[in-house]
């Protein structure tokens, strides 16, 4: 989602929703702006090739335009570099 603008993101959520069977899941992994990030993390997020890094609430708001069941999980340090990810689980 961090490579897509808001309109494109909602379109992708719609396409995924249509493709899923009832109970099916869309899982996304993106960089996220979070409260307790180091200067290095914030710098790396700002330099990400994806120009649309968002906050948790912004990702959830976009997903909720299509999905009614969304779980978000913020995960710092999944990589060896200082970076914070969000995992969204959207269930049809």
Residue with tokens 């790396």: 44
pLDDT at 2: 97
Residue 80: per-residue pLDDT: 92
Evaluate whether 23 touches 46 at the Cβ level (below 8 Å).
Answer: no
- Confidence at residue 76, expressed as pLDDT on a 0 to 100 scale: 92
What's the confidence (pLDDT) of residue 21? 97
Tell me how crowded residue 41 is: count the other CB atoms within 10 A of its CB: 19
Distance between CA 20 and CA 25 in Å, rounded? Answer: 7
| 84 vs 62: CA distance, rounded Å | 19
Residue with tokens 């995924």, as numbered in its chain? 16
pLDDT of residue 36: 86
pLDDT digits (tens, 9 = 90+) for 23-75: 999 999 999 999 889 999 999 999 999 999 999 999 999 999 999 999 999 99
The answer to whether the beta carbons of residues 31 and 2 sit under 8 Å apart is yes
Q: Could you tell me the pTM of the whole model?
A: 0.94
């Amino acid at each position: 989602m961090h490579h897509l603008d808001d309109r494109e993101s909602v379109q992708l959520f719609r396409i995924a929703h249509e493709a899923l069977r009832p109970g099916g899941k869309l899982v996304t992994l993106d960089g996220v702006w979070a409260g307790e990030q180091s200067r290095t993390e914030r710098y790396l997020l700002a330099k990400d090739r994806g120009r649309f890094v968002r906050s948790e609430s912004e990702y959830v708001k976009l997903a909720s335009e299509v999905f009614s069941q969304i779980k978000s999980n913020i995960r710092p340090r999944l990589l060896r570099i200082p970076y914070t990810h969000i995992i969204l689980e959207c269930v049809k």
